[in-house]
Structure 1
C-alpha cells in the first residue's frame, strides 16, 4: 500500500532521538513520555493545517477527529513494530530503521524490568513473553493497549471543544453509545476509535479513497 501524504510527515522526530542508554529503570515511563510528545506534536500539526481547511470547507468539523485517529493508529503501528512505511529516500529509510532499533532496545529493557522478579507477577509475565524476545511483539502490543488512552489524550490536546468523532462509539453498548464530542474524547477516558486495530494497509486504502 502507498502511504498517504499525512504519513510522510508524521511528527516522530523526538522518538528517533530517544536515549536508549539510560539505565534508571524508568524505560516504561520514558517511552510513554516520548510517544505522547510525538502524538502532541502530530496533533498540533494536524490542527494547524486542518483549521485552515475547515474555514474554507463547510461541514467538515467532525473530520478533524478522523484525521487525528488515523495518525494515532499509525503511531500505534510504529510502537508495535507493525508500521509498513519504510521511508521515501535512503536517509528516511535509515532513520526509520534506527527508530525501530531504538524501540527494540527500549522494549528489551522493559522486558527485563517486568520479568526480573522485582515486579508483581514476574514469573507469569516471563511465561507470557517467553517466546517473544527478539522483536517483543506481545510486549509491545500489551504496552500499547495499556497506554493508548493516554496517547489519545495527547494527540487530541489542541482539538476544539466542538470537535467530535464521526460516529457514536463511547460506551460499551453500540445501542446506547454516545458521541466523543468534546476535543474528540469520550467522558470516561475511553478511546473512541479502533483504527489502531485495523490493518494499516486497509486504513491507507480507505484514506486514499
Structure 2
C-alpha cells in the first residue's frame, strides 16, 4: 500500500532523537518523548486542517480533525510497536532503520528494569517477556496498550472545542456517545481503535 501524504510528514522528531536511557528511566522517558511527538503531530495537523475544510466543505466525517488525528495516532502506535510499513526513499529508510534500532534498545532497557518478583499464582514480569528479545514485540505491544490513553490526550490537546469523533465510542452499548469536544471522551478513554486496524487497510481507506 502507498503511504498517504499525511503519513509522509508524521512528526516523529522526538522519537528519532531519543537517547540517554537506562533501565531505571527508560519507560518514563519514552512516554514523555512519545507524548511530545504526538503533541507536535497534533499541532501540525491542526495547522493544515483548514485547507481540507475548504477543499471538502461537505465531506462530513471523512475529513474531520478527529479522524486525521486518529490516523496519525495509529501510525505513531505502529512505529512504537515495530509495525510501521513506511520506509520512503533511501534517506528516509535509513532514518527509519535507525529509529527502529533505537526503539529496540530502549525496550531492552525497559525489560532490564522489569521486576523479577513472582508469586505462586503469577510469574514475574521479566519471566513473562522472556524470549521476547531482540525485537520485544510483545513488550512493545503491551507498553502501547498501557499508555495509549495518555498519548491520545497529548495528540488531541490542540483540537477545537467543537471537534468530535465521528463514531459513538465513548462508553458501550446503547449508552455510547460521541466525544463532546476536543476529540476526547469525558472519561478520557481513547475513542478510536484505528491503532488496532492493520496499517495497510487504514491507508487504503484513507486513499478511497
TM-score relative to the length of structure 1: 0.91
Q: CA deviation at 1:172?
A: 2.6
- 3-state SS of 2:67 partner: helix
Q: CA deviation at 1:179?
A: 0.6
Match of 1:113 in 2: 113
Unaligned runs of 5+ residues in structure 1 are none
Matches within 5 A, 1:1-209: 1-19=1-19, 21-23=20-22, 25-54=24-53, 57-59=56-58, 62=61, 63-86=64-87, 88-117=88-117, 123-173=123-173, 175-209=174-208
- 3-state SS of 1:2 partner: coil
Could you give the per-residue CA deviations for residues 112-153 of structure 1, whole angstroms, max 9, x where no partner exists? 101455xxx994212321121111011001100000000000
Q: What is the distance in 2 between the residues matched to 1:53 and 1:133? A: 43
Q: CA deviation at 1:76?
A: 0.3
RMSD: 2.0
Q: What is the distance in 1 between the residues matched to 2:142 and 2:28? A: 15
Q: CA deviation at 1:60?
A: 5.3
Q: What is the total number of aligned residue pairs between the two structures?
A: 204
Q: CA deviation at 1:51?
A: 2.4
Kept in 1, the 8 Å contact 2:185–2:191? The answer is yes
Kept in 1, the 8 Å contact 2:74–2:195? The answer is yes
Unaligned runs of 5+ residues in structure 2 are none
Kept in 2, the 8 Å contact 1:115–1:123? The answer is no
